[in-house]
């Protein structure tokens, strides 16, 4: 079942990459397993998926605690500062950094745990107050510089969640804004370091690929609708 869905998604990735004149290998698929049981993770791994995403630290710890070393697990939901201690040894990426203070806390915890962590800065590309992430580009760029200087963290790029609307042009314009910001960050910190633009989910990943996404985060198209 997951195997079939995975094949269909890979075909859609390849098709949208080729429409955009891009190499499909430049787009990584992150499987979002929030609310799904461990058995789904196991089936996904058997189907060949190696990159996973979870929204909540505690749920991830329960589900991935014993296999964290053998998958690449990304935190894609908001990180509360007091949960930073649970990241080392569980998540190798935090895709949702939205403040310097949280990044500092995370870096301290990772240093103490003897491991590094890759991070993306989350950009609120829709301006909706209900969404987390930096609303001001200038603040994101300024803090990125300081976060890049933290001992245990490697800034790798930008993440955004597109607007939940059906108007494809609106979605595309949010992604285009995010890509422009990503390119500014590349200029600022160096293209060799800044290599990840995470945008696109089940309903909008093809638009995101057209706009330059290098990492799509897919849940329901792989595993079915969440309860």
**Residues within the interface to ligand PLP (CB under 6 A):** 32, 34, 55, 76-77, 161, 201-203, 217-221
Residue whose CB is nearest to ligand PLP in the complex, by number: 219
Please, is 112 exposed, middle or buried when counting C-beta atoms within 10 Å of its C-beta (0-12, 13-18, 19+)? exposed
Q: What minimum distance in Å lies between the beta carbon of 114 and ligand PLP?
A: 28
Q: Which is nearer to ligand PLP, 32 or 181 (CB)?
A: 32
Tell me phi and psi for residue 166, to 5 degrees. Answer: -95, -10
Determine the 3-state secondary structure of 143 from DSSP. Answer: helix
Query: Both tokens of residue 19?
Result: 């429409």
Q: Which is nearer to ligand PLP, 143 or 204 (CB)?
A: 204
Q: What minimum distance in Å lies between the beta carbon of 69 and ligand PLP?
A: 23
Q: Which is nearer to ligand PLP, 189 or 205 (CB)?
A: 205
Query: Both tokens of residue 103?
Result: 């990044």
Q: Which is nearer to ligand PLP, 78 or 81 (CB)?
A: 78
Q: What is the phi-psi region of residue 21: left when phi exceeds 0, alpha when psi lies from -120 to 50, beta otherwise?
A: left
Tell me phi and psi for residue 122, to 5 degrees. Answer: -85, 130
Closest CA to 103 of 115, 90, 94, 112: 94
Side-chain-side CA neighbours of residue 102 (13 Å): 22
Q: What minimum distance in Å lies between the beta carbon of 226 and ligand PLP?
A: 7
Q: Which is nearer to ligand PLP, 103 or 221 (CB)?
A: 221
């Amino acid at each position: 079942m997951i195997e079939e869905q995975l094949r269909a998604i890979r075909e859609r990735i390849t098709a949208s990459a080729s429409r955009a004149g891009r190499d499909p290998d430049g787009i990584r698929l992150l499987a979002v397993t929030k609310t799904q049981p461990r058995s789904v993770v196991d089936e996904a791994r058997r189907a060949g998926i190696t990159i996973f995403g979870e929204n909540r630290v505690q749920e991830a710890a329960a589900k991935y605690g014993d296999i964290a070393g053998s998958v690449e697990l990304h935190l894609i939901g908001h990180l509360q500062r007091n949960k930073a201690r649970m990241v080392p040894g569980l998540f190798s990426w935090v895709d949702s950094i939205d403040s310097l203070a949280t990044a500092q806390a995370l870096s301290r915890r990772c240093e103490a745990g003897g491991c590094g962590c890759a991070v993306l800065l989350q950009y609120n590309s829709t301006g909706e107050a209900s969404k987390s992430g930096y609303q001001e580009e200038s603040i994101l760029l300024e803090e990125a510089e300081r976060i890049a200087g933290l001992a245990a963290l490697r800034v790798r790029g930008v993440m955004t969640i597109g607007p939940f609307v059906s108007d494809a042009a609106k979605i595309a314009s949010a992604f285009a804004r995010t890509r422009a910001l990503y390119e500014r960050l590349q200029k600022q910190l160096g293209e060799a370091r800044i290599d990840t633009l995470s945008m696109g989910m089940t309903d909008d990943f093809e638009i995101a690929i057209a706009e330059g996404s290098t990492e799509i985060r897919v849940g329901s198209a792989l595993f079915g609708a969440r309860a």
